[in-house]
A and B are shown apart, each in its own frame.
Chain A
């Protein structure tokens, strides 16, 4: 048994164990322990993350219908698996203590939750390990249905959106399957290598078709425009730790598959050669623009959300655009940025979902108009969210900045001002939106009913603190992650980024986060000294406020929360036209109309008429053929 087999076996065991331990308290800790074991097994393959070129293969292989199925881990799989297992571990930990108790008391099945979480991790590992196109598709479908299971554990709304997800995901899967079979009929094999060898000899139309099928199919999972409508609500309504897990990694599986097929096999260079008819764009540009619009539109949709979880989920869609954009630049910097953003996003997004879940755990709501002022009550949760939003907004000193910097830098080097502008607009929108999130949750007026709440329990705080530390440390020393990224780049066949512990050294303007963060911290130190040099300040109670010359009593609600950016909305509000909703609705009504026609066809009262008609037609056709 290779380490990969052991890992997959243990992962499968993690799915089974909760089924037996059921709703008992032990389930959560036990699952957490098993994830730790998975993590250790993954570390046994750590060579992959540090430049080892030989993939770890699985001893299992199958021969079905004359098609060979096999599985292996390379640096790319290892990198994604690291994030997956990490997210699984911390989500499961988060879901072990008080949260589990509350969840169980509300009549939900803890057994199902932990099994679903473990199933997600397991199926993702299977997908990541896929060694040729067929096992990739199988893994892909398994992941889709596992996340469907997870999503449908939530409320009725979640179920409705999970349903939407299934529709999109399965249609996407069919596109992928079509692509696979097309490849198979061209090459006679599902092997990656055979596909790669065949690409140069394919004509432009075929590559376009394959590109379209794969990009659309995998794009559904990433919630690329225009297939994004399902994701936000489905993720948001998933039970808290599940949402953290899904938000962290689930939709990145789409990116993984895209890297494998579009970058590793077809190659971005080939996409650049594909012209879009009647324009001066190439296939790659087209997808890059899709990525940029995926950054902008969902981010500004997030800005309008009233629910903390939905806000985060919408941002999750937007951030996916940065990853794809970076990878499509396909130079050493851009692709490193895109790949690194996968890791970074997973860390801060998990922190954010966890901190929102902690708030829900204590207050019972994630409605941004019904919270406020919790900072003094839940300071550590606040800290976690603060670190998370700085990461999400992509500001120094957190890790989100480094990956976005790499993408920006690559765009400047490449000279794509509009893509760059789009990416920056997304970042700016994110800053607005995340400030609203933290302001409406933790700052501003404390509600009377929240005066007595306590900090989140330690089972929730630990994962949050660990992740926050990761967000900060990998921002301070991005080289820690860039080591893995370099291995991934080598494995995928992209130019490898030369880096050091603090970042990258480029003659024409590099980045050294150790210096930048140090000087920032020193700056804060100076700022603190300047602050302390002033006269002593007097701390007033949180509820001691006035406005407009009147003292405000705590029972007056004056929190500024709804329609947080009226000036902006005054201008861009009319731009929200729900065009994609409209598009989707239009498609559905078309199907509905056609469907009605078809039913009418079957309701026809003179069935013998069809019989005669078809006979006459068919006879005249075959006789005419003579």
Chain B
């Protein structure tokens, strides 16, 4: 089972060795990154079937927690580790003269992302989170434009503050319990963290990790960074990294903080996220910014969904998250050529019919048109929100609906401009094969999901059940009792 460690180690190792390899052969350096990611993906996939019945824990160096570092592998964690790996592969950002640096950063991202997903204690989570943060600054600023650097600087400031807050939260937790191992914390949480200090810790960590999860209002870096960073990087950040941060928050919520106040904070911030994101997107005049704001809105929906207590919330949130994980990177792949002002996109359907059709498919799913997967995810969220019989949750449902209506308007305003008879003065260049193939692949996956919706739903439900089961986590890791 220990080969799963390779999912984390292999990309990190390769990243460090990459400069050396480049000295030896630049061809090898070009290909080794994707190959390594492919390999780790295969490792992950082969482990998939084993996690079906129950989660696995891997103790590094065979030290039992809390002494040793452990990896906790349930289907959810593995899925996100895979998503990071495959996402990075699909959105492989290396191009141009900075190829080497970009490859290194991408590999680091994949490795630390997988680690983050699998990691079983708060300290590792913090370290890997910081690593991802550093990597993403590098990626975001890689275009080297002044605007890009300014945006990244803003991102860096918020992110650093956020990390500091998260660290403060972790410190509070440690102060209360004396441990950072998640399983152990889960055991202690009902007694030690079910108080104001626990909640304060949660709020600090929520806001801290929320910076990457595009949580309102610490997401102000999003539009500028996505608009100035290379589209593939934006796709990675919006599609994959944001979900990783969300995953951490959800894990903490399930294991450490079952208090209803914690859920309420998340719900309120989620609602505000949907509201501000969709409204701001409505007026966006730039393709990337529009996608960025829409991504804020979608993350808001996820926060709302995860704030539903119990397994139902995890199920609904996961459905939305996985859907967004497929759709947003595909949209950003299209943005590679269509970035910039929306006015340039008038009449592009004539030149690139496939891309236009893909955009429509993705947009339809994003706003939740049946029978596309986005609809089922949204339906799930709606049902569970209204089942709570609480006015705040009902408000969340109304806001999601209103947001979807707005989103339909701005996405299809763009889509219908594709088919306008007169073309723009400076139409964008045609898509590169790689981008189009990637987007098509994701689009095809989305279309296939329409027919596989029944087994998919069952899988996700099982996954959610596994993830929402606190006792299962504790028993799997089975840490030594605290002295």
Would A622 and B261 count as touching, CB distance under 8 A? yes
* A602-B457 CB under 8 A given contacts A174-B404, A181-B397, A623-B196: no
Let me know if A621 is at the binding interface, CB within 8 A. yes
Which candidate, B101-109, B246-254, B414-422, is the interface stretch facing chain A? B414-422
A-B contact pairs, 19 of them (CB 8 A): A64-B457, A65-B379, A138-B370, A138-B375, A145-B364, A145-B369, A156-B422, A163-B416, A167-B408, A170-B408, A178-B398, A184-B383, A592-B282, A595-B283, A599-B283, A611-B158, A614-B218, A615-B204, A622-B262
Would A178 and B401 count as touching, CB distance under 8 A? yes
Instruction: Select A601's contact among B161, B195, B276, B283, beta carbons within 8 Å.
Output: B276
How many chain A residues touch B (CB < 8 A): the figure is 55
Let me know if B178 is at the binding interface, CB within 8 A. no
B155 to chain A, nearest CB (A): 9
Let me know if B127 is at the binding interface, CB within 8 A. no
Query: Which residues, 541 to 596 on A, are CB-close (under 8 Å) to B?
Result: 591-592, 594-596
As a 0/1 sequence over residues 177 to 214 of chain A, the CB contacts with chain B under 8 angstroms (1 = contact) are 11001101100000000000000000000000000000
* A181-B220 CB under 8 A given contacts A170-B408, A599-B280, A618-B203: no
How many Å lie between the Cα of A623 and that of B200 in the bound state? Answer: 7
Would B207 and A618 count as touching, CB distance under 8 A? yes
Would B203 and A177 count as touching, CB distance under 8 A? no
Which residue of chain A is the closest to B197 with respect to CB atoms? A623
Which residue of chain A is the closest to B388 with respect to CB atoms? A185
Interface residues of A (CB under 8 A from B): 62-65, 137-138, 141-142, 145, 152, 155-156, 159-160, 162-163, 166-167, 170-171, 174-175, 177-178, 181-182, 184-185, 591-592, 594-596, 598-599, 601-605, 607-608, 610-615, 618-619, 621-623, 625-626
Would B165 and A611 count as touching, CB distance under 8 A? yes
Would A596 and B283 count as touching, CB distance under 8 A? yes
Let me know if B221 is at the binding interface, CB within 8 A. yes
Would B382 and A607 count as touching, CB distance under 8 A? no
* A167-B409 CB under 8 A given contacts A601-B280, A619-B203: yes
Would B370 and A607 count as touching, CB distance under 8 A? no
* A141-B387 CB under 8 A given contacts A177-B401, A618-B265, A622-B261: no
On chain B, the residues within 8 Å of A608 by CB distance are 157-158, 161
Number of cross-chain contacts by CB at 8 Å: 162
How many Å lie between the Cα of A348 and that of B143 in the bound state? Answer: 62
On chain B, the residues within 8 Å of A623 by CB distance are 196, 199-200
* A166-B412 CB under 8 A given contacts A138-B371, A178-B398, A626-B195: yes
On chain A, the residues within 8 Å of B413 by CB distance are 163
Let me know if B42 is at the binding interface, CB within 8 A. no
B369 to chain A, nearest CB (A): 5
Would A64 and B203 count as touching, CB distance under 8 A? no
Would B217 and A610 count as touching, CB distance under 8 A? yes
On chain A, the residues within 8 Å of B408 by CB distance are 166-167, 170-171
Would B370 and A178 count as touching, CB distance under 8 A? no
How many Å lie between the Cα of A162 and that of B375 in the bound state? Answer: 22
**New A-B contacts (7) at CB < 8 Å, excluding given A181-B379, A623-B199:** A64-B457, A141-B375, A152-B416, A166-B416, A171-B405, A181-B386, A598-B280
Would A591 and B282 count as touching, CB distance under 8 A? yes
Would A594 and B279 count as touching, CB distance under 8 A? yes
Which residue of chain B is the closest to A594 with respect to CB atoms? B279
Let me know if B453 is at the binding interface, CB within 8 A. yes
* A622-B217 CB under 8 A given contacts A141-B369, A162-B416, A181-B386: no
Let me know if B402 is at the binding interface, CB within 8 A. yes
Which residue of chain A is the closest to B422 with respect to CB atoms? A156
How many Å lie between the Cα of A99 and that of B293 in the bound state? Answer: 45
Would A615 and B165 count as touching, CB distance under 8 A? yes
Let me know if B380 is at the binding interface, CB within 8 A. yes
Let me know if B64 is at the binding interface, CB within 8 A. no
Instruction: Select B453's contact among A64, A175, A626, beta carbons within 8 Å.
Output: A64
Which residue of chain A is the closest to B377 with respect to CB atoms? A65
On chain A, the residues within 8 Å of B386 by CB distance are 181-182, 184-185
Would A604 and B220 count as touching, CB distance under 8 A? yes
Let me know if B425 is at the binding interface, CB within 8 A. no
As a 0/1 sequence over residues 278 to 301 of chain B, the CB contacts with chain A under 8 angstroms (1 = contact) are 011011100000000100000000
Interface of A is mostly: helix
How many Å lie between the Cα of A623 and that of B222 in the bound state? Answer: 30
* A159-B420 CB under 8 A given contacts A177-B382, A594-B279: yes
How many Å lie between the Cα of A23 and that of B222 in the bound state? Answer: 46
* A185-B387 CB under 8 A given contacts A177-B382, A614-B218, A622-B261: yes
On chain A, the residues within 8 Å of B221 by CB distance are 607
A107 to chain B, nearest CB (A): 10
How many Å lie between the Cα of A336 and that of B453 in the bound state? Answer: 41
B374 to chain A, nearest CB (A): 12
How many Å lie between the Cα of A618 and that of B421 in the bound state? Answer: 51
On chain A, the residues within 8 Å of B402 by CB distance are 174
Closest 9 CB pairs of A and B: A170-B408, A595-B283, A622-B199, A171-B405, A610-B217, A598-B280, A138-B370, A174-B401, A607-B220
On chain B, the residues within 8 Å of A599 by CB distance are 280, 283-284
* A163-B412 CB under 8 A given contacts A64-B457, A607-B220, A614-B207: yes
Which residue of chain B is the closest to A182 with respect to CB atoms? B386
Let me know if B454 is at the binding interface, CB within 8 A. yes
Let me know if B33 is at the binding interface, CB within 8 A. no
Would A610 and B218 count as touching, CB distance under 8 A? yes
On chain B, the residues within 8 Å of A166 by CB distance are 408-409, 412, 416
How many Å lie between the Cα of A178 and that of B220 in the bound state? Answer: 31
A626 to chain B, nearest CB (A): 5
Query: Which residues, 136 to 153 on B, are CB-close (under 8 Å) to A?
Result: none
How many Å lie between the Cα of A178 and that of B397 in the bound state? Answer: 8
How many Å lie between the Cα of A596 and that of B419 in the bound state? Answer: 27
B476 to chain A, nearest CB (A): 27
Would A156 and B409 count as touching, CB distance under 8 A? no
On chain B, the residues within 8 Å of A178 by CB distance are 382, 397-398, 401
Would B217 and A170 count as touching, CB distance under 8 A? no
Would B379 and A175 count as touching, CB distance under 8 A? no
Would A611 and B207 count as touching, CB distance under 8 A? yes
On chain B, the residues within 8 Å of A592 by CB distance are 282-283
On chain B, the residues within 8 Å of A155 by CB distance are 421
How many Å lie between the Cα of A611 and that of B380 in the bound state? Answer: 31
A615 to chain B, nearest CB (A): 5
Instruction: Select B157's contact among A184, A591, A598, A607, beta carbons within 8 Å.
Output: A607
On chain A, the residues within 8 Å of B406 by CB distance are 591
Would B382 and A181 count as touching, CB distance under 8 A? yes
User: Residue among A596, A608, A611 with the most chain B CB within 10 A?
Assistant: A611
B316 to chain A, nearest CB (A): 10
On chain A, the residues within 8 Å of B306 by CB distance are none
On chain A, the residues within 8 Å of B420 by CB distance are 156, 159
Would A65 and B380 count as touching, CB distance under 8 A? yes
A217 to chain B, nearest CB (A): 11
B445 to chain A, nearest CB (A): 18
B214 to chain A, nearest CB (A): 11
User: Residue among A63, A160, A599, A623 with the most chain B CB within 10 A?
Assistant: A599
Instruction: Select A622's contact among B203, B379, B387, beta carbons within 8 Å.
Output: B203
Let me know if B171 is at the binding interface, CB within 8 A. no
Would B397 and A64 count as touching, CB distance under 8 A? no
How many Å lie between the Cα of A174 and that of B381 in the bound state? Answer: 13
Would A598 and B203 count as touching, CB distance under 8 A? no
On chain B, the residues within 8 Å of A603 by CB distance are 220
Instruction: Select B421's contact among A141, A156, A612, beta carbons within 8 Å.
Output: A156
B153 to chain A, nearest CB (A): 11
Let me know if B223 is at the binding interface, CB within 8 A. yes
User: Residue among A160, A599, A601, A618 with the most chain B CB within 10 A?
Assistant: A618
Would A619 and B401 count as touching, CB distance under 8 A? no
A350 to chain B, nearest CB (A): 27
Would A181 and B383 count as touching, CB distance under 8 A? yes
Would B280 and A602 count as touching, CB distance under 8 A? yes
How many Å lie between the Cα of A595 and that of B265 in the bound state? Answer: 24
A231 to chain B, nearest CB (A): 17
* A619-B200 CB under 8 A given contacts A162-B416, A182-B386, A614-B218: yes
